[in-house]
Amino acid sequence: MEMFNRLSRLALGAALLGTGITDVLAAEPTIRELAKERGRFIGTILNSEWFNDAIEPEFEQIHKTQFNVVVAENEMKFDATEPQENEFNFAKGDKMVEYAQANGIRVRGHALAWHSQVANWVNNYAGQKDKLLAVLKNHIENVVGHWKGKVAEWDVVNEAVNDEYNAGWRSTNSVWYEGIGAEFLDSAFVWAHAADPDAELCYNDYSLEWGLREGSKASFVVEQVKRWKQNNIPITCVGTQTHIEIAHETTPQNVRALAKALAELGVTLNITELDIGFPKGSAGQLGAADYAKQGHLYRQFMDVFLEEPNMGEFVIWGLTDAHSWLDDQQGKTEGLLYDKQYKPKPAYDSIMASLNAHPASEVKSPYPESVFDTPCSGNCGDSTIAIKLATTASNLSMHLSGRTLTITGAVTAKVELFDIQGRPVFSAKNEKGSVELQGVSEGLYVVRVHEGSRNLLQRIAIK
Ligand code: 9MR
């Protein structure tokens, strides 16, 4: 109830100032709008559930509204794209690329040469250097070639450094390294560049956020990048995955130091898989102070990202705590920006606060302006502008009774709900003449009913 009163006061204040709620909505930008103004890309993965049409409608609505770079959680990996030798399956990747193009979103490709998620058939050639080189070359040529000009950046090699803290390549459990040796990395970059000379090409790994010091992964990678640059191997970026925990308070400044070291080599640093998890055992016991602490860490990463001129992409490994690899595979939980009900957490506000504290005039972009000319056939996530422009539709009306929204004048309309800051909170398709607004907390909202070119907008109060 307190929340409802607070929102009512906000809306009343806006009305008294002579602005309608649509202007309030229009005044609150999205993450992607602020990122674009700063020449940067901020995004999340599309979870595998999205590819399988097994995810809540809120997921896509928020995703395309808030973010301008996307990665497939599993669907562009080797086992997904070449499940049988020389038989390629691009269907799911194509689905994401089409979605990205329709919404003006940049695509990262993940991942070409990786010891994990390699199709089983590759192991038939274990230890056969020439055959493995041919297999990897054919894979890269086909995959990168298929999405030439559509995938802006590839993780060409993923996780090739070992975990021993002795500064070396991963030499066991890697069909590529064991069969080919370290030259598989150099070759992979050369083949990827040949297949798409305009694509950015990254080396991507975890634990790089643990800092530059003797024997560390980060120091080893910087040394390799130096060697690659000296030998004209076409690497343009490093990805620090950055799967961390709430206790890892020093890691943002380690990422800053890594960015600076790579800047000297003319290479971009991207945060590619960020999540900041709580120990799984703490689920259900977390309070405001915990989420504030998580927000503080997200804020520090975003500050570093915006302040370092050779950082370009900030990608979070998931959108909602309802769908995250942390719970299934990591013994961690709740590491993302939106909670399980798709409500933005303090971490979301922290990202916004950081963006607002770093005006566009002060943030340098590592990209030419043309990278933002991505074709966009949809509304490019700019729902707030769409709301402002289209507020009426003839013969279309709605009526709210309790939580039932009855719609007349449309057969199959799309119903979307936005909170007072313009953030999408609910979306459903009306096929029965009414929609139940379930899972929405009490408060003031704008509801948009949309059918074809007809849009009807109305303020509603849910009690
Ligand atoms: O999130 C991915 C999960 O669904 C897969 O089961 C897992 C299998 O390896 O890979 C996860 O994504 C990983 C990414 O591809 C590379 N860096 C670590 C990510 C989390 O494990």
119-143 pLDDT, tens digit each: 999 999 999 999 999 999 999 999 9
Domain edge (last residue) among 382, 416, 443: 382
Which of 55, 73, 76, 321 should be mutated for ligand 1, with most atoms under 8 A from CB? 73
Which of 112, 321, 329, 332 should be mutated for ligand 1, with most atoms under 8 A from CB? 329
- Asked whether residue 399 falls in the same domain as residue 365, the answer is no
The structure tokens 């798709």 sit at: 342
Number of domains in the chain: 2
- Asked whether residue 419 falls in the same domain as residue 403, the answer is yes
CB count in 10 Å sphere of residue 376 = 16
Taking only the tens place, the pLDDT of each residue in 35-53 is: 999 999 999 999 999 999 9
Domain edge (last residue) among 329, 359, 382: 382
What residue's CA is closest to ligand 1, atom 8?
Answer: 117
- Asked whether residue 349 falls in the same domain as residue 395, the answer is no
**What is the CA(275)–ligand 1 centre distance, in A?**
12
- Asked whether residue 113 falls in the same domain as residue 19, the answer is no
**What is the CA(293)–ligand 1 centre distance, in A?**
25
- Asked whether residue 434 falls in the same domain as residue 299, the answer is no
- Asked whether residue 67 falls in the same domain as residue 8, the answer is no
**What is the CA(200)–ligand 1 centre distance, in A?**
21
**What is the CA(397)–ligand 1 centre distance, in A?**
46
What residue's CA is closest to ligand 1, atom 21?
Answer: 325
H or E element in which residue 272 lies: strand 268-279
Mean pLDDT of 342-354: 97
Q: For residue 262, what are the domain limits?
A: 30-382
- Asked whether residue 374 falls in the same domain as residue 304, the answer is yes
What residue's CA is closest to ligand 1, atom 12?
Answer: 73
Angle separating helix axes 251-263 and 217-230, nearest 10 degrees: 10
- Asked whether residue 6 falls in the same domain as residue 73, the answer is no
List, by residue number, the catalytic residues.
159, 273
Domain edge (last residue) among 362, 382, 402: 382
Q: What is the CA radius of gyration of the chain?
A: 23
Taking only the tens place, the pLDDT of each residue in 410-458 is: 888 888 888 765 667 888 888 888 999 988 888 777 888 888 777 788 7
CB count in 10 Å sphere of residue 91 = 11
User: For the whole model, what pTM was predicted?
Assistant: 0.79
Query: Which ligand 1 atom is nearest residue 111's CA?
Result: 15
Mean pLDDT of 396-405: 87
Side-chain half-sphere exposure of 312, counting CA atoms within 13 A: 26
**What is the CA(101)–ligand 1 centre distance, in A?**
24
Q: State the CATH number of the domain containing residue 92.
A: 3.20.20.80
- Asked whether residue 64 falls in the same domain as residue 138, the answer is yes
In one-letter notation, the amino acid at residue 225 is V
- Asked whether residue 160 falls in the same domain as residue 202, the answer is yes
- Asked whether residue 323 falls in the same domain as residue 256, the answer is yes
- Asked whether residue 259 falls in the same domain as residue 342, the answer is yes
Buried b (16+ CB within 10 A) or exposed e, 49-88: ebbeeebbbbbbbbbbbbbbbbbbbbbbbbbbbbeeeeeb
Which of 75, 108, 155, 317 should be mutated for ligand 1, with most atoms under 8 A from CB? 317
* Alpha-carbon distances of 175 from 1, 116, 204, rounded to whole Å: 59, 9, 18
Q: Is the pLDDT of residue 395 over 90?
A: no
Q: State the CATH number of the domain containing residue 417.
A: 2.60.40.3080
Mean pLDDT of 101-109: 97
